[in-house]
Chains A and B, each alone.
Chain A
């Protein structure tokens, strides 16, 4: 019976083709309209409007058209900016050379790799030169907030991935209470940031009786100021007196990094668990027959076969830290000064506290372009890798 029905329905379709097509089109548009309208207005329109605002001296009300002056204020020295971008281009070249080198197996490979390394060093030098020029003449607060963002990203992402991978591997063994452990690890990820931040702020407060300082006292260590400490960790722990970027993140930022790791490691655990499910069991059997113990199997089977998942997580989390706002905003204390102000928080401040709309818009366009660039790079790099899972 079914085939005959099909034939008649196709015949019907042909007959009323144009009417049908029109009807299909209209139904389609009607169905997508509500979602498209909301996303266009609240998701896409803001970019266009920010671009427009960034060209004006716009406090609360729209002022004079100023062209690129807001951007000049950010970068200070366009020459420095050009040098920096040139360095970035070289970085791309180094990556290209490196991937070329790993694709070919012959002798030129080594030459290419050395070439890539040289280009990498040159790129780094040029970038820091250009950056120095920009910081000298431009908006130090904003440019610094980008560095803080990178500190935060570099501090949270590798650690949260490593911890997530280890816990996923342990949970993947046949153990009791697997579900319960997974549920507990994932808990920090689902709980509201503001709520957990409120708790972390009391745990890591500068009071001598805060939980963090009580734990330090068990080890006969003196109390620290944690979230209220603007000094760099290199100074607090190692006594080094370094200046500027070289000093590294402040202890306050270090504490927020701990908070970030605590919040996200469970998310990574869950994704890694899914990735582990894709590794064939036979490989572990083979490793076991070859006499590999748990650690060897982890090092030689798990880590390499999870690398596509790790890579994906790394890039997504790295970009995520550039978008992050809540974690940093609610953990920032006035005492920590600008050592915990990332780009998102800085932008929020410029329009919310300082009411400098046009300038905030130009900063958010710059942040958007950085994230766009990272996303394009991510898609390109991920596209070139093989996926196992």
Chain B
């Protein structure tokens, strides 16, 4: 029981009677605390339970609204994967996300390093302009960017970029948030290290790749995580630039399935679970870094 009380007793050894009293009332409160926390957890999880349970039902069971399938229909997943083309959408999403992340990491590491450690003219002004873009609503960017990738504003190499990997990946290959995060970290690296590196004849690029990067795993991980979530969950922009299946990512695929599936709720839910699996795996593996990243930056939202 002692482990359940707060750390209050450590600092006031003489207040024993008070402590006993509060501890008793605390155990009463404690069960109430657990009840509320568990209700919250149930409410947070019910939709996931509903999704997984429905995805394993037969069509008849979804119509009669059973809570659990009589026998789990794993075949639903195979059907969604093959016939509803979720396999194609899945690999599209994997490739789009991977390409986006490579680009995002490259641009933000270079820019974060330059803003944090190189004294060039106009540095602060350029940085301020980049930061101001965080305030711009995505809504305003869609129409001009759509026209841009269609090639109507300026001619593009290869004509229109509609239904291409470039259109899906390039706009997300840089953002002010990632640059800001890495800049903060790089700027803290002691100057003595740079002085020493210079004596060894290193330039900025070598210093960055050989000294800075190996010690920057944590912020890079945060950038990767946010980038992954952003790219994997992206919806509106991919919806605009994919008119065919060639590069259609999972989210758009799932959305088009909503209208095409009609009453086939079990297949729809199987598809929904498929979109979720990579996110869940990564979230459970990195969840500590994840919530810490959010708490310390507090910027994403």
A interface, CB within 8 angstroms of B: 2, 5-6, 8-9, 24-29, 31-32, 34-36, 38-39, 41-47, 49-50, 53, 163, 166-167, 170-171, 173-176, 179, 181-188, 190-196, 198-203, 209-211, 214, 262, 266-267, 270-271, 273-274, 281-282, 284-285, 288-289, 293-294, 312, 316-317, 320, 322-323, 325-326, 329-330, 343-344, 347-348, 351-352, 357, 360-361, 364-365, 367-368, 371-372, 375
Give chain B residues whose Cβ lies under 8 Å from the Cβ of A174: 3-7
A35 to B291, CA, bound (A): 26
| B64: contacting residue among A209, A288, A293, CB under 8 A | A209
Chain B, interface residues (CB within 8 Å), range:
35 or more
A299 to B101, CA, bound (A): 44
B16 located at the interface, meaning its Cβ lies under 8 Å from any Cβ of chain A in the complex: no
Give chain A residues whose Cβ lies under 8 Å from the Cβ of B148: 41-42, 45
Please, could you name 18 A-B residue pairs with CB atoms under 8 Å apart, sorted by A? A9-B195, A42-B170, A42-B171, A43-B133, A46-B145, A49-B144, A50-B140, A167-B40, A179-B288, A186-B291, A196-B47, A198-B268, A203-B47, A209-B63, A209-B64, A270-B291, A271-B295, A364-B140
Question: Closest CB-CB distance, A194 to chain B, in whole Å?
Answer: 5
Q: Contact at B137–A289, with CB atoms within 8 Å?
A: no
Q: Contact at A203–B145, with CB atoms within 8 Å?
A: no
Q: Chain B 1-30 against A: per-residue CB contact (8 Å), 1 yes, 0 no?
A: 001111110011001001000100110011
B51 located at the interface, meaning its Cβ lies under 8 Å from any Cβ of chain A in the complex: yes
Give chain B residues whose Cβ lies under 8 Å from the Cβ of A42: 141, 145, 148, 170-171
With contacts A31-B204, A187-B48 known, what are 15 further pairs, Cβ within 8 A? A28-B118, A32-B115, A34-B110, A34-B174, A36-B126, A36-B174, A186-B291, A193-B235, A199-B272, A201-B258, A203-B47, A209-B63, A262-B47, A288-B22, A293-B29
Nearest 6 Cβ contacts at the A-B interface: A28-B120, A31-B114, A274-B295, A46-B144, A35-B111, A38-B174
| B195: contacting residue among A6, A27, A209, A344, CB under 8 A | A6
B99 located at the interface, meaning its Cβ lies under 8 Å from any Cβ of chain A in the complex: no
Given contacts A181-B41, A320-B301, contact A43 B141 (CB under 8 A): yes
Dominant SS among interface residues on chain A? helix
With CB as the reference atom, state the residue of chain B lying closest to A264. Answer: B301
B202 located at the interface, meaning its Cβ lies under 8 Å from any Cβ of chain A in the complex: no
Give chain A residues whose Cβ lies under 8 Å from the Cβ of B147: 49, 357
Q: Contact at B298–A352, with CB atoms within 8 Å?
A: no
A352 to B233, CA, bound (A): 21
B91 located at the interface, meaning its Cβ lies under 8 Å from any Cβ of chain A in the complex: no
Q: Chain B 269-286 against A: per-residue CB contact (8 Å), 1 yes, 0 no?
A: 100100110011001100
With CB as the reference atom, state the residue of chain A lying closest to B288. Answer: A179
Given contacts A29-B120, A31-B118, A288-B8, contact A175 B30 (CB under 8 A): yes
Given contacts A28-B123, A194-B255, contact A171 B272 (CB under 8 A): no
| A285: contacting residue among B4, B12, B36, B279, CB under 8 A | B12
Q: Contact at A38–B140, with CB atoms within 8 Å?
A: no
Q: Contact at A47–B136, with CB atoms within 8 Å?
A: yes
| A325: contacting residue among B4, B135, B138, B268, CB under 8 A | B138
The tally of CB-CB contacts under 8 A between chains A and B is 284
Given contacts A293-B25, A294-B29, A371-B135, contact A288 B18 (CB under 8 A): yes
A19 to B283, CA, bound (A): 48
Q: Contact at A371–B110, with CB atoms within 8 Å?
A: no
Instruction: Give the most central of A194, A203, A282, A320: most B CB within 10 Å.
Output: A194
B296 located at the interface, meaning its Cβ lies under 8 Å from any Cβ of chain A in the complex: yes
B119 located at the interface, meaning its Cβ lies under 8 Å from any Cβ of chain A in the complex: yes
A368 to B113, CA, bound (A): 31
Give chain A residues whose Cβ lies under 8 Å from the Cβ of B71: none
Q: Contact at A285–B37, with CB atoms within 8 Å?
A: no
Q: Contact at A271–B33, with CB atoms within 8 Å?
A: no
Q: Contact at B235–A312, with CB atoms within 8 Å?
A: no
Give chain A residues whose Cβ lies under 8 Å from the Cβ of B18: 288-289
B107 located at the interface, meaning its Cβ lies under 8 Å from any Cβ of chain A in the complex: yes
Given contacts A31-B110, A209-B65, contact A195 B137 (CB under 8 A): no
Question: Closest CB-CB distance, A193 to chain B, in whole Å?
Answer: 7
Give chain A residues whose Cβ lies under 8 Å from the Cβ of B115: 32
Give chain A residues whose Cβ lies under 8 Å from the Cβ of B133: 39, 43-44
Q: Contact at B33–A372, with CB atoms within 8 Å?
A: no
Q: Chain B 230-248 against A: per-residue CB contact (8 Å), 1 yes, 0 no?
A: 0011011000100000000
Q: Contact at A170–B33, with CB atoms within 8 Å?
A: yes
Q: Contact at B141–A194, with CB atoms within 8 Å?
A: no
Question: Closest CB-CB distance, B279 to chain A, in whole Å?
Answer: 6
Given contacts A31-B110, A31-B118, A194-B251, contact A322 B268 (CB under 8 A): no
Instruction: Give the most central of B118, B140, B301: most A CB within 10 Å.
Output: B140
Give chain B residues whose Cβ lies under 8 Å from the Cβ of A281: 7-8, 11
Q: Contact at B51–A185, with CB atoms within 8 Å?
A: no
| B229: contacting residue among A28, A47, A190, A316, CB under 8 A | A190
